Structure 1
Amino acid sequence: MSDTQMIPQIELYKLLRALSLAMDYNRSGLMRHHQRVALICSYLAEEIQLDPDLLPQLFCSAIIHDAGTSTFKEKADLERFETINPWRHCKRGHQLLSKMPILKPLAKVILYHHDRWDGQNQSGLSGSSIPLPSRIIFLADRVDVLAYQTGNILDYRQEIVDQINEQSGTMFDPELVHVFNKVSSKESLWLDLTSQFMDSQLGRRLHTCPVITSEKEIIGVSKIFADIIDSKSPFTYRHSRLVAETASLLAGQAGFTGRQQKRMYIAGLLHDLGKLSIPEEILEKPGRLNKQEYNVIKHHTYITHQILSMIDGFEVINQWAAYHHEKLNGEGYPFHLTGADLSVGSRIMAVADIFSALVEDRPYRKGLPRHRVEEIMNHMVATKSIDGEIVHILMDNYREAEILKEGMPVNWAN
């Protein structure tokens, strides 16, 4: 992608759909919960002929409604039909989305998306005072929790319908339950939920959402996902931000233009997107990983690559983000690329990620001082793992990189 070529306009729903896929991993693998909830919402919205002005808000909120969760434990708690204290993740999701103007309209919907109709809510709302999109998502969300079972979904759909009806007027809006009873008679609803063609179904059913028109907006959305990623573990609470800031600093010193630095910043924010699929006990293990655990870790860059490949205009950003564990000698993962395959941007990201990991605290050690960072990185240069010229740029600008670690980000990306 040349510097004069802008990232094309992106439908907000499509961007969120791709990125939220990373949030849909739990201990059982990829659940596609957000997509399934959005699909159920589309059936309900169509049946009630929802105001077209509310459709984008509903669909975009549905596809990111659990933004306030990161860990497998939090997700397991939400897989119970009657959750315990869901307000915490609703409030966190609201806080995250309120930071970004294009997502702020979704924040209120997400804040109330576990509010019960009968009013036993920390929000203080009840009945029709709960926003309609929130009520729709709550019902769809709980239907999907019940629907995620093994076997033929048509065999147990009536059990799901019965359980939803038992909570009409208590958990759920009784009018929406009535609507659900109508749409649940369609086998297509249930077959769509388990279909390998879900992406195309969503594309056909969901209406156009707002369009992201600037890299500043993409950076804002990427920052929110960086916060979700880094909330996975207290040891990575700012890792994605530090990698993004360090990579953009190195890119500027390497001669990248301002626009290219912004793309590098986006790539850094999203480089660990796939870590949302990794169990916390592996990320936080206080000792060396065994072979099996290391093999699990190797999934994360592959998942990052596959998810970012779904976003139009992210081709170069994807390479910079997803190749950060590749090595010049071909001994990295998961693609075993060599120096001939790795662009300067990918090499910069690898150095930025290593620097950030070395200076940050980890479960098994405190952040390392400069002399140890230099020793380790120089050894990696000698073994042809990383690019010596990029390491040289880092060492020449080490104080600036240290300032970034102290939480003082560069201003150009604001």
Structure 2
Amino acid sequence: MSIPSLLPETTLRLRQSEIIGALSHALDLTEGLPAGHAQRCCWIGMHIGQELNLNDHDRADLYYALLLKDAGCSSNAARIFNVYGCDDRILKRDFKLIDTHKIDDMAKFAWSHVAPGESWLKRLPMLASLITKGSEIGEDLFLTRCEQGAEIAEQLGFSAQVCDAVRGLDEHWDGRGNPRQLKGEQIPLFARIALLAQVIEIFFAEGGSALAMQTVRARAGTWFDPTLVHHLEKLAQNDEFWAGLQDPDIAARLVTIEPADYVRTVDDEELDRLAGAFAAVIDAKSPYTFGHSSRVCQYAQRIGGEVGLSEKQLFWLRRAALLHDIGKLGVSNSILDKPGKLTDEEFAQIKLHPVHSMDILSKVGIFDSLAPVASGHHERLDGCGYPWGLKGDQIDFATRIISVADVFDAVSAERPYRGAMPVAQALSILDDLSGPALDGDLVAALKRTL
């Protein structure tokens, strides 16, 4: 098995910020943004904090608030699909490019994003709902996202200052933000910095520093605290500030600006907490996958215990099981929640989620051996699985355990195209898959634990 039997001493000194920074790439996927968005926002926001002469304690809180600003991003994805009938990732990306204070921009946005490509018979009721209930719907979407994000930050043990920053990300200086319409200094300072950093990063990616600064200047006093914009004007004169946003190794730059006296290092307990928190983000993406990661984890641990894995191996199996579907954050809810049969193109998108999982988990040094274990759960023993077509002994023993646990939960839980399946029927399907797809000995081990 490639599950580590112990944690090497060097990894015990790994920074928590490096792990969260790497895993934040999953949040970027969910928001429809280029990988590294949250890390680049951290670069921007920390420079603003330095201009404000924040002390090291506050700068440490700001650092994590910026990395975790989108922690609740998956929680409103299903609702967005239900309301707009479009790819939630595209909608989220495009929404960040408009000025929500301009009625014309909002109307054009709704017109172009409601059930694109569908008939007028389907589009008109959805447009009418947005016209009559748009404010209420928007407030609910923001509230869900902000509260879920704050809960994740709290689950990870961060301060109220970090949680409040995540909760207040979408508030605007003039009181026309969401979800609570806070105004001016009612908005937590770190939330004000995070929103400014977010807009700078997005518009820099769209059109460079000139467009980024033009956008910020136009929204000073409405979206943004004018004092923060003043400090940003000074930063904008520094070429090195902008160079950081173009550095493909932005993670290395972030290491240099994290307050040294407040660096958090990981241990087994912290790794479990991180895995559990990101599993909650994964499972919040769709009502049909709610609780899936934690249930797969439970079934995998039962199987692992039944076949004699050591306690340390079970620790790592648990983490792999919790994070096995992290790549699904990059799949649209228009596919995940589709009640009918998927098209070939849609299924191709589904088949990419293990690739996303591999890419995200591989960015975390401590998860080097865990990444292929977690991301191979759709491979089959006969070589007909995806995405790599691995066969027989090419599939890690721990991956086989997760595969059995994943299939059992998938067939026994409710899905958009059918109701929940009785346990006996689910186990019968696992029996049929034993040999060509699943390891029969591990299926038998699962049965003994139920």
With normalisation by structure 1, the TM-score equals 0.86
Query: Are 1:381 and 2:434 counterparts?
Result: yes
Instruction: Give the 3 Å change call, closer, same or farther, for CA 249–316 of structure 1 in structure 2.
Output: farther
**Alignment partners' CA distance in 1, 2:27 and 2:151:** 17
**Alignment partners' CA distance in 2, 1:243 and 1:17:** 25
SS in 2 for 1:361: coil
Q: Deviations over 1:81-123 (max 9, x none)?
A: 4385444422221122223324765212212233333455655
Q: Residue 100 of structure 2: which of 82, 89, 97 is its match? A: 82
Instruction: Give the 3 Å change call, closer, same or farther, for CA 53–28 of structure 1 in structure 2.
Output: closer
Query: Are 1:99 and 2:155 counterparts?
Result: yes
State the match for 2:29 in structure 1: 25
Instruction: Give the 3 Å change call, closer, same or farther, for CA 366–212 of structure 1 in structure 2.
Output: farther
Instruction: Give the 3 Å change call, closer, same or farther, for CA 368–236 of structure 1 in structure 2.
Output: same
State the match for 1:37 in structure 2: 41
SS in 2 for 1:366: coil
Instruction: Give the 3 Å change call, closer, same or farther, for CA 104–220 of structure 1 in structure 2.
Output: farther
Q: Deviations over 1:256-311 (max 9, x none)?
A: 12232222111111100000111111112223323222211111111111211121
Letter in 2 for 1:181: E
Instruction: Give the 3 Å change call, closer, same or farther, for CA 195–210 of structure 1 in structure 2.
Output: closer
Larger deviation: 328-337 or 203-212?
203-212
State the match for 1:196 in structure 2: 248
**Deviation, structure 1 residue 179:** 0.6
Gaps of 5+ in 1: 399-414
Letter in 1 for 2:389: H
Matched-pair contact (CA < 8 Å) for 1:36–1:144: yes
State the match for 1:137 in structure 2: 194
Q: CA RMSD in A?
A: 2.5
Instruction: Give the 3 Å change call, closer, same or farther, for CA 272–79 of structure 1 in structure 2.
Output: farther
**Alignment partners' CA distance in 1, 2:249 and 2:99:** 26
Gaps of 5+ in 2: 78-87, 102-137
Q: Residue 220 of structure 1: which of 253, 273, 297 is its match? A: 273
State the match for 1:3 in structure 2: 5
Larger deviation: 11-20 or 330-339?
330-339
State the match for 2:51 in structure 1: 47
Q: Deviations over 1:195-218 (max 9, x none)?
A: 434333334444455324322222
Instruction: Give the 3 Å change call, closer, same or farther, for CA 62–318 of structure 1 in structure 2.
Output: same
State the match for 2:358 in structure 1: 305
Instruction: Give the 3 Å change call, closer, same or farther, for CA 388–103 of structure 1 in structure 2.
Output: farther
**Alignment partners' CA distance in 2, 1:206 and 1:291:** 45
**Deviation, structure 1 residue 350:** 0.6
**Alignment partners' CA distance in 2, 1:145 and 1:331:** 40
In the alignment of these two chains, the number of paired residues is 392
Q: Deviations over 1:34-90 (max 9, x none)?
A: 122112113222333321112221111111201111122673444544385444422
State the match for 2:72 in structure 1: 68
With normalisation by structure 2, the TM-score equals 0.79
**Of Structure 1 and Structure 2, which has the larger fraction of its residues in helix?**
2
Matched-pair contact (CA < 8 Å) for 2:412–2:426: yes
Letter in 2 for 1:3: S
**Deviation, structure 1 residue 129:** 4.8
**Alignment partners' CA distance in 2, 1:27 and 1:37:** 14
* Higher relative contact order, structure no. (Cα contacts within 8 Å, ≥ 6 residues apart): 2
SS in 1 for 2:371: helix
State the match for 2:106 in structure 1: none
Q: Residue 288 of structure 1: which of 341, 360, 365 is its match? A: 341
State the match for 1:324 in structure 2: 377
Larger deviation: 290-299 or 263-272?
290-299
Q: How does 1:220-239 map to 2 (within 5 A)?
A: 220-239=273-292
Letter in 1 for 2:299: T
State the match for 2:446 in structure 1: 394
Q: Residue 204 of structure 2: which of 147, 151, 168 is its match? A: 147
